[in-house]
Amino acid sequence: MKLLAVMIGVVILVGCGGRQQVIYNQPELPSEGYWDMVWVEPSIVLSDSLFTLIRADRLDSIYVKVDSDPFAALPTSVVFGVGESVCFVAVDLVDASGRIVLPIVARELIAGHYKLTINRSRVSSETYPSGLYYLQARYCGKSIKSRLHL
């Protein structure tokens, strides 16, 4: 029994081997970056000067290298998925206290993956003071928020 405990302790402390072998179609990744979603064959569902709502049946991922300022290009969007055949969806701009500041979309959507992106330059600073806001999507009995700095 003691021998088994010693062997497990050695494996935990030393590890099971050396460096992981790199396979050509799965190369090592640089340490600075992140995985992001890629929309496979997206289509625009709704669009105007304030927002764009896209839909795709399938998502994939891609590794993105981080630039010197990783937060400069953060998207102003909320992502959600409708799993039912048809579902009522409401997306709103809400303030930090949860009060609806601007209703954006309220309609039935068919099953699929959705992403609503706000055009930040079209949100007036006179109407909406600078600060923390959220894009809130309510769909199929669920709710999700995405942080948005104006």
Q: What is the pLDDT of residues 105-126, one digit of tens each?
A: 999 999 999 999 988 877 766 6
Domain residue limits, the chain: 24-149
Q: Can you give the pLDDT at residue 76?
A: 81
Separation in Å, CA 144 to CA 34, 72, 77, 116, 136: 22, 23, 11, 12, 6
pLDDT of 3 above 80: no
Q: Can you give the pLDDT at residue 130?
A: 80
Residues contacting 38, CB < 8 A, separation 6+: 59, 60, 61, 62
Find out whether 89 and 139 touch, Cβ atoms under 8 Å. Answer: yes
How many C-beta atoms lie closer than 10 Å to residue 128's C-beta?
Answer: 14
Residue that the structure tokens 């590794």 belong to:
63
Find out whether 133 and 118 touch, Cβ atoms under 8 Å. Answer: no
